[in-house]
Chain A
Amino acid sequence: MADEPHNLDPQHTTTPVVAPGLTFASVTDKISSIVLKRKTPIWWFAGFAISFILFQLLLLTITQLLFVGIGLWGINIPVAWGMDILNFVWWIGIGHAGTLISAILLLLRQQWRTSINRFAEAMTLFAVAQAGMYPIMHLGRPWLAYWLFPYPNTMGIWPQFRSPLMWDVFAVSTYATVSAMFWFVGLIPDFATLRDRAKSKPWQILYGLLAMGWRGSARHWHRYEMAYLLLAGLATPLVLSVHTIVSFDFAVGVLPGWHATIFPPYFVAGAIYAGFAMVLLLTIPLRKLYGLQGFITMRHMHNMAKVMLATGLIVGYGYVMEAFFGWYSGNRFERFMIWNRMHGPYAEYYWALIVCNIVTPQFLWIKRVRSNLLVLWLISIVVSIGMWLERFVIVVTSLHRDFLPSSWGQYQPSMWDWTMFIGTIGFFFTLLFLFIRFLPMISIFEMRTILPEAEVEE
């Protein structure tokens, strides 16, 4: 849906966003055949099976949690947030790249987004689903989670709207809803494509129901484009607000290490950084396995690597400023906080974070590194780990030693913290495997718009 998809600047020396020689028919057939015709590859079954098994760990953990309570996890006073909240932030951050690719890059008219936006949006949705589980399970009595919503109740009371935790409820649920709508609206024309290509009756009916009778009418397209553009315009401030509000969960508290005005921008940049790492992590093997190099070209890889580098630098600036504020504040608690991060019991996490998130992305300055997919893939893994460490450092090192030494403590994640985390990774990949099998992972109609033959000659 790039608004001016047709005029690829001839002076532009970078590799094109689509491989030459593709036509409406070949694009349609190639992408839809992954869903409709091709035999499901053996690696799909293997990958799905492994993810599904890991997913069972999540169900097991949640069941156990409902019986035993959150004492199952390693959290305690003073570190009452631990891995649950850090994983929540990690997952929701990953989701943000999807919205950035689908909404912000649309508004900026970056046509290269076209072949990766569908996939990135799916990633957003699935990551938000994982993220949403953590705060709910962390409530202690998750079955009362609906108390968070302002509904008229027999207790006659209302939620506390002055609390960032309530803001979080609204931000995350709005984000999940809008991401799902955006994704579904983007899929409608492609459902119609699948409906018209599907050979067997049940699939025709299923895709037909989802397509809702889409027929590509010019009047429909006109309103559709308008709706899509408006959704992108709404999703853009939304995605910035969500991670801002997530950072408020920390920044509004008066704890040293949390109470910092740099948190919102630094969290948003970190989210995009982690999200692009995850998109790269997933698309590099996928384009190879499904032979999609013509759609997801090296230009995409370069661009994503560059976005990762840019946001990585912003994140690095955030770390430097955190340390600087700690020192410059003259406040002994702030100074202790930063000293404790660098030299305290969790110092190795801090330095590992610096290596992963500040040192590693510097290799992306080099074009040869960006062109080497294996290296790029490994860097993405390192960045994902680094972003997890960042949240660990923020959550744990700030909480475990606050103002009063008599209330200091240590945090050690329990086995169940890890099974829950691994379980959410399993659930995420389970959903992702189902997605690539049953839905077109590249937006077919948007690919058509960027083909040379889409141009209307006057």
Chain B
Amino acid sequence: MAEDEKPEEPWEHDLEDPEPFHHESAHPAHSRRRGVPALYGIMAEFDNPTALVAAARSSYEAGYRRINGYSPYPIEELDEAIGFKHTTLPLIVLIGGILGGLGGFFMQYWMAVINYPLNVGGKPLNSWPAFIPITFECTILAAATAAVLGMLALNKLPQPYHPVFNNPNFALATRDRFFLVIEANDPKFTHGEAMQFMRTLGARDVSDVEV
């Protein structure tokens, strides 16, 4: 089950790329940006979720793949619009739960049967029904921990810096503003064309996001 996702760190690509995309010879379309910081992408701002989802759909249909939406609350339609459907998180949680359960049970088994066998009231050493409650609790604990840490790890959090925060209006992404970003490392991305395209989406503002 592969994570259906694109890397979100274009600056890493920039480091690998011997010819950054604002280099004139490599990307003629970027010629206007010579001498300014590298570009993360272009950001469009919307007032409501409907406009954001519609814009995300148009971008996807226009062939852009490295697009991402930012919203103050989860929008189910947005995931589909940007083409993000699967996450490996449930698998991670399942594995966590299985390991927790097996670990919990065999921890008790090893301690009570192998390492220190002790006859308690004539009960069998492997008195497994009495081991079930702790096995259950260990299952839940490991699965829940896997869910939280797995979510943070897949989201690459904590991440103190991210280019989108450079847009002064982006603070409203946690209030009532909706943002769409086409990232500069999209194969189809050229600055002029993408800018022109995003201006057609009915956004209240379109701006460059610097790395």
B87 touches A24 (CB 8 A): no
A170 touches B134 (CB 8 A): yes
Is B130 interfacial (CB 8 A cutoff)?
Answer: yes
**Bound CA–CA A223/B150 (angstroms):** 9
**Bound CA–CA A1/B74 (angstroms):** 8
Q: Count of chain A residues with Cβ under 8 Å from any Cβ of B?
A: 68
Given the interface contacts A170-B133, A213-B159, A456-B53, does A225 sit within 8 Å of B74 by beta carbon?
yes
Binds B, one of A152-160, A291-299, A374-382, A426-434: A152-160
B144 touches A150 (CB 8 A): no
Question: Most B CB atoms within 10 A — which of A28, A182, A222?
Answer: A222
Binds B, one of A59-67, A234-242, A305-313: A234-242
Q: Count of chain B residues with Cβ under 8 Å from any Cβ of A?
A: 69
**Bound CA–CA A448/B138 (angstroms):** 35
A223 touches B154 (CB 8 A): yes
**Bound CA–CA A296/B145 (angstroms):** 31
Is A445 interfacial (CB 8 A cutoff)?
Answer: yes
B130 touches A161 (CB 8 A): yes
Is A201 interfacial (CB 8 A cutoff)?
Answer: no
Closest to A226 in B: B89
User: What sequence of 0s and 1s flags, for each residue 70-83 of chain B, a beta carbon within 8 Å of any chain A beta carbon?
Assistant: 11111111110010
Nearest CB of chain B from residue A124's CB, rounded to whole Å = 14
A445 touches B111 (CB 8 A): no
B84 touches A218 (CB 8 A): yes
Query: Chain A interface mostly helix, strand, loop or mixed?
Result: helix
A212 touches B159 (CB 8 A): yes
B176 touches A24 (CB 8 A): yes
User: What sequence of 0s and 1s flags, for each residue 159-186 of chain B, a beta carbon within 8 Å of any chain A beta carbon?
Assistant: 1111011000011111110000000000
Query: Chain B interface mostly helix, strand, loop or mixed?
Result: helix
User: What sequence of 0s and 1s flags, for each residue 106-140 of chain B, a beta carbon within 8 Å of any chain A beta carbon?
Assistant: 01100110011000100100010011011011101
Query: In the complex, which residues of chain A have a beta carbon less than 8 angstroms from the beta carbon of B77?
Result: 456
Query: In the complex, which residues of chain A have a beta carbon less than 8 angstroms from the beta carbon of B116?
Result: 156-158
B159 touches A162 (CB 8 A): no
- Return the contact of B70 from the options A177, A182, A217, A245 (Cβ within 8 A): A217
Given the interface contacts A161-B134, A196-B174, does A185 sit within 8 Å of B87 by beta carbon?
no
Closest to A178 in B: B144
Query: In the complex, which residues of chain B have a beta carbon less than 8 angstroms from the beta carbon of A348?
Result: none
Extra pairs beyond A158-B115, A215-B162, A218-B78 (12, CB < 8 Å): A23-B176, A166-B134, A170-B134, A181-B148, A182-B144, A216-B71, A217-B69, A219-B82, A224-B74, A226-B89, A245-B137, A456-B53
Chain B residues near A (Cβ < 8 Å)? 5, 8, 48-50, 53, 56, 68-79, 82, 84, 87, 89-90, 93, 97, 107-108, 111-112, 115-116, 120, 123, 127, 130-131, 133-134, 136-138, 140-141, 143-145, 147-148, 150-152, 154-155, 157-162, 164-165, 170-176
Cross-chain pairs A/B with CB under 8 angstroms, 30 sampled: A1-B74, A29-B175, A159-B111, A161-B130, A162-B127, A170-B133, A174-B138, A177-B141, A181-B144, A185-B148, A193-B174, A193-B175, A196-B171, A212-B152, A215-B162, A215-B165, A218-B68, A218-B70, A219-B79, A220-B157, A221-B74, A221-B78, A223-B89, A223-B154, A224-B151, A224-B155, A230-B143, A230-B147, A241-B136, A456-B77
